[in-house]
Amino acid sequence: MPWPRQEASAADRTMQVVDHIRLLIENGTIQPGDRVPPERELACTLKISRASLRTGIGCMVAMGVMSVRHGVGTFIADGPAEFNKASLSLMSALYGFESWQMFEARVVIEGSLAALAAERGKEEHYAALAEQVAEMFAIADSPADFLKHDVLFHRIIAQASGNPILAALVETVTSAMYEKRRKTVGRANYLREMAEMHREIFRAIRARDPVAAQEQMERHLRVAESAENQEPLDARKARSRPAHSKEPEALARRKRRS
């Protein structure tokens, strides 16, 4: 006597959608930026309900792999996934991620990204970075606008690194921090200080000096963390001085926290 057929669970149907879309991407049927087949067609192909299909698509939207444009359709993300920045924000709310921990993650990842950008960057990346630095100096009296160019500057460095996995990781962290940073971005004189630091990062990358690029990025992020925590200007300047020790930044930060 044959075993009774088990109905697929909701999780199974979700993974069925995820696996099918992944296969379409892997075999080149759809590319980044392409519109996926209509819901009716996909549901028919997978032999699932449209409600189950929407659940699967929602999962991939949450992962940053797909995006829904209302009234237009569903598309494959044109760029690296953000590994669900909403989930990171939720975990931060639940488990109390502290600001210094988020900045520490940025130092570890973005220092390496800056070094890679110095080694692998192309002329179009240099031109884009130069443009963002110029914009920062031009709008140093407008914190909200400055922050947008700050984010773009760091995003370009991530792209120039040539490593989309690291780029996606740092995009997740910076996106989760964006709203808080938008509320705490500093005064005009502080923004000019930040613009100068971005220029030094750019110069190191343009000079193809990975060691200097990493040092300048770590210096910038230490000062940004101090400013967000409202440390006095003298303390920020002290923290901005390049470290002469060969001790890894992450280890040095752990010692400072202990």
Structure confidence at residue 78 as a pLDDT band (50, 70, 90): confident
Better-predicted residue by pLDDT, 190 or 118: 118
Residue with tokens 């909200």: 144
DSSP of 22-73? HHHHHTTSS-TTPBPPPHHHHHHHHT--HHHHHHHHHHHHHTTSEEEETTTE
- The continuous run of DSSP H or E covering 69 comes out as strand 66-69
Q: What is the pLDDT of residue 254?
A: 46
| Cβ atoms of 172 and 84 closer than 8 Å | yes
Domains observed in the chain: 10-76 (1.10.10.10), 85-257 (1.20.120.530)
What pLDDT shows up at residue 246?
Answer: 44
CA distance 126 to 132: 10
Beta strands of the chain (E only): which ranges?
Answer: 66-69, 73-76
181-215 pLDDT per residue, tens: 777 665 556 888 999 999 999 999 999 999 999 99
Where is pLDDT greater, at 249 or 38? 38
CB-count burial class (<10 Å; 0-12, 13-18, 19+) for 56: buried
The strand pair at 73-76 and 66-69 is best described as antiparallel
What does the pLDDT read at residue 207? 97
Q: What is the pLDDT of residues 3-56, one digit of tens each?
A: 444 455 777 888 888 889 888 888 889 888 899 999 999 999 999 998 889 888
